[in-house]
Structure 1
Amino acid sequence: MSLIESTVHGQVHELRLARPPVNALNPELCADLVQALHEAPARGARGIVLVGGPKVFSAGLDVPYLLSLGEDQDALLRAWTVFFSAARALAECPVPVVAAMAGHAPAGGCVLALCCDYRILADGPYRIGLNETQVGLVAPEGIQALLARVVGPHRAERLLVAGAMPDAQQALQIGLVDELVHIDDVATRARVWLEELLQLPHMPMLETRAIARRDVIAALADERIDLPRFVAQWSHPDTQAALRAMLARIGK
């Protein structure tokens, strides 16, 4: 059974992350997302809405699962590899994708959103950002580039070093998200945005999009993620202590 629920709205297909309670990104969910992103255009999708859960779009990588792998570097590398495969599938998707976030999007959830064409966040007490330093991780250079692409290099530096998570209004002000709407309207507004975009002449829109998004794909190149180095850092005492402290705070 897939962890992605697909709903067809004419030319727009909705892909919903379906791993409650917080859509933690384990290998199965990431692999199912890759498959769904490949299948939707083949089934006639000319636009895709990526939807998460209520209150939490995705809480990021499944840290308890990753910690359960212990010192198994090969297993850790496989888990992170499939996550970045999902990010690349979004970045390389041949049709526009809107992130419809009816809740928080920290860390890996924010990465998925940054790989989309457009980001809509629920207006309210919701936060989005790359909080890696807060939990003992180093955001790879390519991921940092994705953030700098939308908020500018200086602001990205401030956010990344602090592991900051701007609230909805701040995220809109700095361009990290494109729109805020009522939590109940996030997915609907995403479909409307896509339907309006799809009224444009199709080939020129897609070709222009492809040129404009080359840097998104380039940011996710293997050499800019450097997964072996990232996975090696996973075992650093500072990282392990911060991750376990985070789990203790949330009662895991």
Structure 2
Amino acid sequence: MESSSKGMCTVERRGRVHLITMTGAGEHRLNPDLLAALRSAVAASAGAGALVLAAEGKFFSNGFDLAWARAAPPGLHGAMDGGLRALLADLLALRVPTVAAVTGHAAAAGCALALAHDAALMRASRGLLYMSEVDVGIKFVDFVAAVLRDKVPDAAARRDLVLRGDRVAAAEAVRRGLVDAAVDGGPEDVVAAAVAEAERLAARGWDGEAVAEIRKAAWPQLWAQVKDHGAGPAPARPRL
């Protein structure tokens, strides 16, 4: 087992699996700093057999960092949207299978990030999937809407998530096809199950280029929205 720090996240090798963990007890709000750290960590996974994204604390991610947006000049707001758009492009173009270990609440852009993986496992006893935009009066950005169109194909499930603001616990998320499994126990059990699933996928020995191209073809609306934004170096945080 090898590990290293990438600032706001850690990077660890567990066998063939590249495990990225957002660190700390906070809400893991997606600001330019965290997004740049995640992009760097994803880029470092090239030699692995599969990737898992997890988080410490009660949140997987509570969405965009609205406090950062309020403090930043309007001209810099695009750095946050652009950072997530680029991260999703990196994940779709990645030549290894990806698994989200949804260890806690995943809301708004954080929910979209979880759903953008090839597979998602969720803690059974705690945590919700929640698209909060309808409740707080915020429009969807185009690529987040594309995640939902491609990854939540059932029209009723998508409606309840985006137009009713349903807060979906793990068992119901499995029933609606939002995640693949509900895992009993604590966050470490969810991570262990996600790593085991990633190991199982890595053991298939798939051609990496084929994996990436099939993924792009399987979720074409999302790929069309993000394809011109990833695959480059993660930018530094813009100065306020």
TM-score of the superposition, structure 2-length normalised?
0.82
What does residue 56 of structure 1 align with? Answer: 59
Shift of 1:148: 3.3
- Which of the residues 153, 159, 162 maps onto 2:161? 159
Q: What is the letter of the counterpart of residue 55 of structure 1?
A: K
Indicate if the aligned counterparts of 2:18 and 2:45 stay in contact, CA closer than 8 A: yes
Distance change in 2, residues 1:80/1:141 (3 Å):
closer
Distance change in 2, residues 1:57/1:17 (3 Å):
same
Unpaired runs of 5+ residues, structure 2, are: 1-5, 228-240
What does residue 73 of structure 1 align with? Answer: 74
Distance change in 2, residues 1:181/1:88 (3 Å):
same
Moved more, 22-31 or 72-81: 72-81
Distance change in 2, residues 1:209/1:173 (3 Å):
farther
Unpaired runs of 5+ residues, structure 1, are: 225-252
Q: Relative contact order (alpha carbons < 8 A, sep ≥ 6): 1 or 2 greater?
A: 2
Q: What is the letter of the counterpart of residue 190 of structure 2?
A: V
Indicate if the aligned counterparts of 2:146 and 2:221 stay in contact, CA closer than 8 A: no
SS in structure 1 opposite 2:138? coil
What does residue 235 of structure 1 align with? Answer: none
**Rg (Cα) greater in structure:** 1
Shift of 1:215: 4.2
What does residue 222 of structure 2 align with? Answer: 219
Shift of 1:8: 0.7
TM-score of the superposition, structure 1-length normalised?
0.79
Indicate if the aligned counterparts of 1:128 and 1:167 stay in contact, CA closer than 8 A: yes
Shift of 1:83: 2.1
Shift of 1:6: 0.6
Q: What is the letter of the counterpart of residue 39 of structure 1?
A: A
**Aligned-partner Cα distance in 2 for 1:188–1:129:** 24
**Aligned-partner Cα distance in 2 for 1:189–1:206:** 26
**Aligned-partner Cα distance in 2 for 1:217–1:96:** 17
- Which of the residues 45, 50, 60 maps onto 1:47? 50
What is the aligned-residue RMSD (CA, Å)?
Answer: 2.2
**Aligned-partner Cα distance in 1 for 2:30–2:10:** 15
What does residue 3 of structure 2 align with? Answer: none
Is 1:132 paired with 2:126?
A: no
Moved more, 193-202 or 116-125: 193-202
Moved more, 167-176 or 15-24: 15-24
Is 1:112 paired with 2:113?
A: yes
Identity %: 26
Distance change in 2, residues 1:118/1:222 (3 Å):
closer
